[in-house]
């Protein structure tokens, strides 16, 4: 089994790439989905967040009011650190359980992690890093059109993340998602072929290592 990191800035279409890789046969561990699951009412993370930030982060439906918590932590470093202290250990533990489960059933596991670049040292053993990249203006327009952001908020969210250059510098494979869906399909197909090449190369390396060890015994 080999694990590949998948990352990209907000508005890049990273989830669309993840969906296509899963359709091709990959297992998926989605950091955002894991966070949302752990922040459901009744979960320990939800209770800890309400205890720290107060009932105002809970919506009328009893669910976490994500825009409310985002407004609290976006420009407050101390509150962001407090949130991360509550959420991150539980997310890491849950993701590790998912990784262990998928390792029993899949040759390829994709770790969909928005902040992979910022925490790259924690994932030093990945077989490769896939970065989904789009021009900033494309990301802004997508956030406005599909996620209801106003332009100022979209630009602020993008500028708060690491730059395109920092992401692509870490990449072993870049998926250019600036085109239409047909173009994205073609990009993901190329990415999958690259993944298969990585697997083949790793298998060859393991076979050579085994032969060398046997030779040393002789």
* Chain segment 190-207, per-residue pLDDT in tens: 999 999 999 998 776 554
Domain boundary among 59, 82, 105: 105
* Residue 35 lies inside a defined structural domain of this protein: no
Are 97 and 117 contained in the same domain? no
Tokens of 74: 């976006």
Are 69 and 177 contained in the same domain? no
Domain boundary among 85, 105, 125: 105
Are 179 and 199 contained in the same domain? yes
What is the Cα–Cα distance from 79 to 46, expressed in whole angstroms?
16
Statement: residue 160 has pLDDT above 90: no
Tokens of 186: 């073609």
* Residue 37 lies inside a defined structural domain of this protein: no
Are 113 and 217 contained in the same domain? yes
* Residue 31 lies inside a defined structural domain of this protein: no
List CB contacts of 103: < 8 A, sequence separation 6 or more.
Answer: 1, 109
Better pLDDT: 41 or 75: 41
Statement: residue 111 has pLDDT above 90: yes
Are 172 and 147 contained in the same domain? yes
Give the alpha-carbon dihedral of 181, 185, 187, 191, to 10 degrees: 150
* Residue 133 lies inside a defined structural domain of this protein: yes
**pTM as predicted:** 0.85
Q: Average pLDDT of 2-17?
A: 95
Are 88 and 190 contained in the same domain? no
Q: Average pLDDT of 137-154?
A: 94
Q: What percent of the chain has pLDDT over 70?
A: 91
CATH number reported for the structural domain that contains residue 125 in this entry:
3.40.50.300
Statement: residue 13 has pLDDT above 80: yes
Are 149 and 198 contained in the same domain? yes
Are 77 and 173 contained in the same domain? no
Domain boundary among 56, 83, 105: 105
What is the Cα–Cα distance from 202 to 127, expressed in whole angstroms?
9
- β-partners of residue 130 are 6, 173
* Residue 193 lies inside a defined structural domain of this protein: yes
* Residue 191 lies inside a defined structural domain of this protein: yes
Q: How many domains does the chain have?
A: 2
Are 46 and 20 contained in the same domain? no
DSSP string across the chain:
-EEEEEEE-TTS-HHHHHHHHHHTT-EEEEHHHHHHHHTSTTSHHHHHHHHHH-GGGB-TTSSB-HHHHHHHHTT-HHHHHHHHHHHHHHHHHHHHHHHHHHHTT-SEEEEE-TTTTTTGGGGTT-SEEEEEE--HHHHHHHHHHHH---HHHHHHHHHTSPPHHHHHHH-SEEEE-SS-HHHHHHHHHHHHHHHHHHHHHHHHHHHHHHHHHHHHH-
Given a contact cutoff of 8 angstroms between Cβ atoms, the answer to whether 12 and 132 are in contact is yes
* Residue 151 lies inside a defined structural domain of this protein: yes
* Residue 34 lies inside a defined structural domain of this protein: no
Statement: residue 167 has pLDDT above 50: yes
Q: What is the pLDDT of residue 216?
A: 57
Owning domain of residue 160? 1-26+107-218
Are 50 and 77 contained in the same domain? yes
pLDDT tens, position by position, 50-66: 999 999 999 999 999 99
Given a contact cutoff of 8 angstroms between Cβ atoms, the answer to whether 129 and 5 are in contact is yes
Residue 141 binned pLDDT confidence (cut-offs 50, 70, 90) = very high
Q: What is the pLDDT of residue 196?
A: 95
Are 67 and 47 contained in the same domain? yes
Residue 118 binned pLDDT confidence (cut-offs 50, 70, 90) = confident
């Amino acid at each position: 089994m080999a694990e590949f990191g998948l990352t990209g800035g907000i508005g890049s279409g990273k989830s669309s790439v993840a969906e296509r890789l899963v359709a091709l046969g990959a297992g998926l561990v989605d950091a955002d989905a894991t966070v949302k699951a752990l922040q459901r009412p009744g979960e320990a993370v939800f209770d800890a967040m309400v205890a720290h930030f107060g009932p105002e982060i809970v919506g009328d439906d009893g669910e976490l009011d994500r825009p409310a918590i985002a407004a609290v932590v976006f420009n407050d470093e101390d509150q962001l650190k407090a949130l991360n202290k509550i959420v991150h250990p539980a997310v890491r533990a849950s993701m590790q359980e998912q990784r262990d489960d998928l390792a029993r059933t899949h040759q390829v596991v994709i770790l969909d992690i928005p902040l992979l670049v910022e925490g790259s040292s924690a994932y030093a053993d990945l077989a490769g890093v896939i970065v989904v990249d789009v021009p900033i203006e494309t990301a802004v327009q997508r956030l406005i059109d599909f996620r209801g952001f106003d332009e100022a908020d979209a630009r602020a969210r993008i500028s708060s993340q690491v730059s395109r250059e920092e992401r692509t510098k870490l990449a072993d494979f870049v998926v250019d998602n600036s085109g239409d869906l047909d173009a994205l399909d073609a990009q993901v197909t190329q990415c999958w072929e690259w993944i298969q090449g990585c697997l083949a190369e790793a298998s060859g390396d393991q076979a050579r290592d085994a032969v060398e060890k046997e030779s040393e015994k002789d």
